[in-house]
């Protein structure tokens, strides 16, 4: 399914429904909190990194400029994207990526497991946190965000 920019969509479990563009209210009064993290100064010398895992909330995931959405929330994308379902198995190859456009992930089944890794550069170090996103929630990762989905297992709704 094609997802078009500048159109509001209502998030359902396995699909998005376009909405009219009027009467949309967003809550922007959220105070940021800092999630548990680890700072890495030289990744080549750190083969085994214990990344702290957090349960994703609206406030702690926002530290990485990522937004958490509930099912039935309203979402709008900056560019045209494609909606697909993917099945992932956990990978031992933990590759951090930088995305070039928005990405939305959401678990489709309640038996999905694993976590996302999010990162950013802070004072010449890479700060990393792991996030478990509860079922019936999804995350919108903005462009130019350091992330990994290598530790996810299950069927996901992906808009990319």
Q: Tell me the pTM.
A: 0.83
| Contact assessment for residue 150 and residue 119, using Cβ atoms and an 8 Å cutoff | no
Q: Residues 72, 10: contact at Cβ < 8 Å?
A: yes
CA distances from 53 to 25, 115, 121, 123 (A): 31, 8, 18, 22
Burial category of 96 from C-beta neighbours within 10 Å (exposed 0-12, middle 13-18, buried 19 and up): middle
Q: What is the pLDDT of residues 5-58, one digit of tens each?
A: 888 887 776 666 666 554 444 444 444 589 999 998 765 555 678 889 999 999
Three-state DSSP class for residue 119: strand
CA distance 123 to 101: 25
- The tens digit of pLDDT for each residue in 96-147 reads 899 999 999 998 888 888 899 999 999 989 999 999 998 889 999 999 999 9
């Amino acid at each position: 399914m094609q997802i078009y920019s500048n159109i509001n969509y209502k998030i359902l479990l396995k699909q998005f429904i376009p909405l009219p563009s009027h009467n949309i209210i967003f809550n922007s009064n959220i105070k940021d909190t800092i999630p548990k993290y680890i700072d890495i100064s030289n990744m080549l010398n750190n083969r085994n990194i214990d990344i702290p895992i957090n349960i994703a909330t609206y406030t702690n995931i926002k530290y990485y400029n990522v937004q958490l959405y509930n099912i039935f929330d309203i979402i709008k994308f900056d560019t045209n994207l494609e909606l697909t379902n993917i099945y992932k198995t956990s990978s031992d190859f933990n590759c951090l990526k930088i995305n070039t456009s928005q990405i939305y992930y959401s678990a489709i089944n309640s038996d999905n497991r694993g976590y996302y890794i999010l990162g950013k550069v802070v004072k010449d170090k890479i700060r990393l946190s792991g996030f478990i996103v509860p079922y019936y929630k999804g995350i919108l990762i903005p462009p130019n965000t350091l992330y990994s989905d290598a530790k996810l297992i299950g069927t996901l709704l992906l808009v990319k």
